[in-house]
Amino acid sequence: MTRDDLFKTNAGIAKGIVEACAKYCPAAVLGMIVNPVNSVVPAMAELYKKKGLDPMKIVGITTLDVVRANKFVGEITGKNPNFINIPVIGGHAGSTIMPVFSQDKIAKTIAEDKIAELDKHVQNAGTDVVDAKGGKGSATLSMAYAGARFGKSVLAGLAGRRRVEGAHCKRDVTGLPY
């Protein structure tokens, strides 16, 4: 399946969900686990905007890459990944995934000559899972965990508790729209 095929298939599924939410729960925050996140989320945000709704309520869940980066750093350092927080910026496809190891106190202890290999490990983790399953699946449990973690953070935030979670969403703080 090409990236274009993936986009067409997943954008069609996402469109149905976004249209239903626009009709039945327009105030909801939509956390979308979708690939390619950096293409589908902007399209769905524009759809929401055309319906007169807040496009910033369409959020692409990129927590999976954070969870993977945290786990790999934990393996290297022998530390608990629950106390590691590697910000991951960019998209959710190969080299567009950019873990920022320098922003975590535990990851900062990793030798600089190991970082390029660690970058590749995070960037290729999804492909590694697909390959391990013989092309017959993806990281469904990992995605579920990432979605649950993200959802828990959103609910905590809506309840007034401070949470920080990476996501792919529309923004208005720089000249870049996403």
Interval 95-151: pLDDT, tens: 888 999 999 999 999 999 999 999 999 999 988 888 888 878 777 888 899 999 999
Q: Hey, is 178 helix, strand or coil?
A: coil
Interval 155-170: pLDDT, tens: 999 999 999 888 888 8
93 pLDDT above the threshold of 80:
no
Closest-CA residue to 58 (of 84, 104, 27): 27
Burial of residue 43 (CB within 10 Å: 0-12, 13-18, 19+) is middle
Q: Which residue type does 60 have?
A: G
Residues 6+ apart with CB under 8 A from 151: 31
CB 73 within 8 A of CB 118: yes
Interval 37-92: pLDDT, tens: 888 999 999 999 999 999 999 999 888 899 999 999 999 999 999 999 999 987 76
Q: Point out the catalytic residue in the list 57, 68, 92, 168.
A: 92
pTM of the model: 0.82
- 92 as an active site residue: the answer is yes
Phi, psi of 43 (to 5 degrees): -65, -40
pLDDT of residue 1: 67
Cα separation, 151 vs 165, whole angstroms: 10
